[in-house]
Chains A and B, each alone.
Chain A
Amino acid sequence: DSGVTQTPKHLITATGQRVTLRCSPRSGDLSVYWYQQSLDQGLQFLIQYYNGEERAKGNILERFSAQQFPDLHSELNLSSLELGDSALYFCASGGWQGGSYGYTFGSGTRLTVV
């Protein structure tokens, strides 16, 4: 267990639908990063939150949105889904903790749009 929890692990939905992906960061981490990884592609940065506030945006589509709640968990909302949105979605949290530095990833949500 990496300490970063993502749910659900798998999601199959139809085009045009809306889904919500959830991420709970590692205990003590205030930041959450969301990434999209399509088949055999690199990690595409979507958005970052820090203590409830949006800090940075990457290549995130207007159909996608996110938020971070007071308990620091984050949700990524994907709407009007298209076949091309099928991908692995990862969240990560991190920084300094316990004398070590780094960002820990969750196990991801595999989204399949049919």
Chain B
Amino acid sequence: QKEVEQDPGPLSVPEGAIVSLNCTYSNSAFQYFMWYRQYSRKGPELLMYTYSSGNKEDGRFTAQVDKSSKYISLFIRDSQPSDSATYLCAVSGNEKLTFGTGTRLTIIP
């Protein structure tokens, strides 16, 4: 079993829609949960991090963590064509850093 599972998509939604991206993880030792955005052939860019269960909001982005079910989510409101990218979840703990495979998202104008 992979330590982090993420649906690779691709996912296409119309502009303005709410996007939901999800990951599950297997190791309870993971303490930090992150979402990265990667444009084609560029380095991943950190969007948000969370430490505890609950929600964290930053502009149009909301990260949600449920430690009891080992489930992490990223919601994007009012999606824009510029949000088209690959989104990767990441978990870390005890200096170990593990990424999901990434979900390719396309926002259709």
Interface residues of A (CB under 8 A from B): 2, 31, 33, 35, 42-43, 45, 48, 50, 55-56, 88, 90, 92, 95, 100-108, 110
Contacts and interface: CB of A to CB of B under 8 A. Distances in A.
B92 interface: yes
B43 A2 contact: yes
Given A31-B95, A101-B32, A103-B34, A42 B43 contact: no
Interface of A is mostly: strand
Contacts of A33: 97
Nearest to B44: A105
B49 A101 contact: yes
A45 B95 contact: no
A90 B43 contact: yes
Interface residues of B, number: 23
A45 B90 CA distance: 12
A47 to B, nearest CB: 12
Contact of A106 (B8, B43, B49, B96): B43
Contact of A107 (B43, B49, B100): B43
A42 B88 contact: yes
Interface of B: 8, 32, 34, 36, 41-46, 49, 51, 88, 90, 92, 95-102
B41 A45 contact: no
Contacts of B88: 42-43
27 contacts: A31-B95, A35-B99, A42-B88, A42-B101, A43-B88, A43-B102, A45-B97, A45-B98, A45-B99, A48-B95, A56-B96, A90-B43, A92-B44, A100-B49, A101-B34, A102-B49, A103-B34, A103-B46, A103-B90, A103-B92, A103-B97, A105-B36, A105-B45, A106-B43, A107-B42, A108-B42, A108-B43
A32 to B, nearest CB: 11
A52 to B, nearest CB: 14
